[in-house]
Amino acid sequence: MLDDEDSVMDMGFLVVQQATRPSLPRLQWLIATVLVGSYMISAAVTLYNAHADQANRLIQLKQTVQDLSSLLDREVATSRALLQGLSSSPALASGDIRAFHAQMLRTPHPAGMALVLADRERQLANVLAPYGTPLPELSAYKPQPGFFELLEKQGVHVSSRVEGRLQPSPSTVISIKVPGEDGHLKYLLCAGISSDRLLAVLQGEALQQEAGLLVIDAMGQVIASRQQVGAMLRTEDLFSAVGMPPTELVAKQGVFPGTDLDGTAIHTAFVRSALTGWTIAATQPETTVALALHRAIPPLAGAGLMVIMALLGFFLFLRRWFEAPFESMDRMLDRAHQRIRLLIESFQSIRRQEQKRIAQELHDTTAQHLVAAGLQLSALRHSSGATHGLAQQVEEIQDLLDQSLTELRTFAFLLRPPALDQSPFNWAMVALAQGFANRTGHVVKIAIAESANHLPPAAHNLFYRVLQEALVNIQRHAHATCVDIELNGEDERWELAIQDNGRGGISFPAPVTEVNGLGIQGIVETIEALDGTLHIEDTGEGTLLRARLHCVE
């Protein structure tokens, strides 16, 4: 057998050991795994941070809306306090409307706020008009049903959206009850806050420029809205954008995803004021909320492309500078192995020719000499002058000559058996076994699978030579009387088994000894030529040889 770790000198030829080759595919996969793994970890961290930023933006959007709602509540509370202060005016108590009108004009109040005094029928004084100017009746403002009853009972009322007659923009009205001597409603003291004023209050809170902002009353009407250039949500599209009717919208709180009428993804935050019943709605486009994610995707895609290009370049580098030289060496080694195999086959052919020549010499010369010597001994034994003792010695010598002649003819036959190319394989195997039995007197049983005839010529030659060498060894060393031979195959795996009943004592693989070193060397050389395997064991009742070969019929 050839050792994988050493070069061996066998049959006069050097068997070249194949150099240990680095596992480049494994190295490539290792480097690819490291690069791709690093990229995946980096991408995962980047995407995680982007999603965390998106979540923080949604939280900030909701917090901003809550802060805006608090600002409006403070604006309403401040306006109510202003009205409460005016309601205690002596001019109002005395019914001097002119003087009270002048007092309202002198009272500091923010731009966009109108102070109004009215009774149940009409406005009596309005800071937006000089005293004495005809003022609209209250019915023109379409008060909500039960307005006076609520004001009479609660003393304060915050209206829904009111279309102003003197103000250019819609407004909401905060009204307080001014009672007469009987305690019932005598006057209404009102502060009309325009939508512009409400937006001015809300502008102080940080909000993205592209965000849409709306103030919605308890009836679902938009009191105020902020329209910015590029604002994604139009006021009239609010309810369709968030996918709910106004009555449900005003009851909602939180952040909800949706789309506008153009199909643009948006996020809308709602907070409802417990003081006024108003709902503050702020919207931001998905592109703003997920800004970090959208900014991260192009660099990640570029980095992924760079990783792919780096891997491709690295593989090409390995292919050119490492893989290609090793492949060239592999081809050189394959050619060297092929030449060695041809040399081995040539050597075996030469050896077989030499065996045939020796067998011919033994048969034509040595055997004839032994026959002649036997004839002379026979003549000597039958001569008249031979004594009894001499005749007995001559007979013993005659027996030795006969035994030597039998062994010589057996070896001559085994060295020059029937040629494979002159007969079918199965017949040649049987003829070899029968010829051995006829010349030695051994009892030989042989069973060859019919399909063995279809094996490749190389397999025929291998099994034939193994049987030939085995029979030579049995004749020389085993001292056996019976030999069983069987050749069978299954799933392209073929095995030749040869069992004798000799003295045994031989095993392989095992350290070569004086006994088995001479007996199995020829078999090992023959079977290793086709990468077959050989196993020899001492069964206790003789020796069992198994020669295995993988081949296709």
Over residues 245-289, the pLDDT tens digits come to: 555 555 567 787 877 666 778 888 888 887 777 788 877 888 887
Task: Tokens for 421, please give them.
Answer: 């190319």
CB under 8 Å to 476, separation ≥6 — which residues?
519
pLDDT at 117: 93
Q: Are 328 and 335 in contact (CB under 8 A)?
A: no
Burial class, 35, CB count within 10 angstroms (exposed 0-12 / middle 13-18 / buried 19+)? middle
Q: How far is the C-alpha of 428 from the C-alpha of 442, rounded, in Å? A: 18
DSSP 140: G
Say whether 263 sits in a helix, a strand or coil. coil
Low pLDDT (below 50) residues in the chain: 1-19, 228-237, 241-242, 512-519
Q: For 7-146, where are the alpha helices, taking DSSP H only?
A: 24-87, 90-94, 97-106
Q: How far is the C-alpha of 354 from the C-alpha of 262, rounded, in Å? A: 98
The DSSP line for 483-511 is EEEEEEEETTEEEEEEEE-S-----BSS-
φ, ψ (nearest 5 deg) of residue 452: -65, -25
Q: How far is the C-alpha of 479 from the C-alpha of 469, rounded, in Å? A: 15
Q: How far is the C-alpha of 271 from the C-alpha of 252, rounded, in Å? A: 7
pLDDT at 8: 35
95 phi-psi bin (left φ>0, alpha ψ -120 to 50, beta other): left
φ, ψ (nearest 5 deg) of residue 481: -120, -20
Same CATH fold assignment for domains 53-289 and 417-553: no
Task: Tokens for 402, please give them.
Answer: 């006969």
Give 3-state DSSP helix, strand, coil % of the chain, rounded to 5: 55, 20, 25
Distances from the Cα of 184 to the Cα of 86, 115, 153, 236, angstroms: 18, 22, 10, 41
Beta strands in 163-234 (DSSP E): 171-179, 185-194, 212-216, 222-226
Task: Tokens for 171, please give them.
Answer: 């407004």
For residue 517, how many other CB atoms are within 10 A of its CB? 11
pLDDT at 386: 58
Q: How far is the C-alpha of 423 from the C-alpha of 104, rounded, in Å? A: 135
Architecture of the domain made up of 53-289: 2-Layer Sandwich (3.30)
For residue 469, how many other CB atoms are within 10 A of its CB? 23
Question: What's the length of the chain?
Answer: 553
Say whether 91 sits in a helix, a strand or coil. helix
Cis omega (within 30 of 0) for bond into 179:
no
Domain locations in the chain?
53-289, 318-416, 417-553
pLDDT at 11: 37
Beta partners for 191?
Answer: 115, 174
CATH number of 417-553: 3.30.565.10
Q: Are 372 and 52 in contact (CB under 8 A)?
A: no
Q: How far is the C-alpha of 5 from the C-alpha of 185, rounded, in Å? A: 114
pLDDT at 3: 40
Report CA torsion sign: 134, 137, 138, 139: negative
pTM of the model: 0.48
Say whether 169 sits in a helix, a strand or coil. coil
Beta strands in 380-455 (DSSP E): 443-448
